[in-house]
Amino acid sequence: MKLKKNIATSEEGFIFNPGTGDSFSTNDIGTEILSLLKDEKSPYAIIDIICAKYDVDQSQFEKDLDDYLSQLKDFNILE
């Protein structure tokens, strides 16, 4: 799972899809997830990285990540 090649992102959490003209914004964790996806990290690796860095419940973060990735798919951000 990875970002489409034409998707533009910023460190501030701005996401732009030039194919559709849509733009979105995300929070700091969402921005970090996007960066990890750009680095072609798997969802399992993302879970490990975020849970090691932040004090979050792993099972809750897994659900949140699934929801976030579903939203990215719905908005044509992921391949």
Domain-located, residue 77: yes
Q: Helix 43-53 vs helix 28-38: angle between axes, to the nearest 10 degrees?
A: 140
pLDDT (0 to 100) of residue 6? 92
Look up the domain containing 70 and give its range.
28-79
Q: What is residue 2's predicted lDDT score, i.e. its pLDDT? A: 86
Give dist(CA 79, CA 72) in Å, integer: 10
What pLDDT is attached to residue 29? 95
Tell me whether residue 6 is in a domain: no
Inside any domain, residue 1? no
- Determine the pLDDT at residue 32: 96
Task: Please state the domain count of the chain.
Answer: 1
The predicted model scores a pTM of 0.91
In a domain, residue 47? The reply is yes
Q: Would the pLDDT of 61 be above 90?
A: yes
The number of beta carbons lying within 10 Å of the beta carbon of residue 9 is 19
Residue 20 lies in a domain: no
pLDDT digits (tens, 9 = 90+) for 5-35: 899 999 999 999 999 999 999 999 999 999 9
Tell me, yes or no, whether 15 lies in a domain: no
- Whether residue 21 is contained in a domain is answered as no
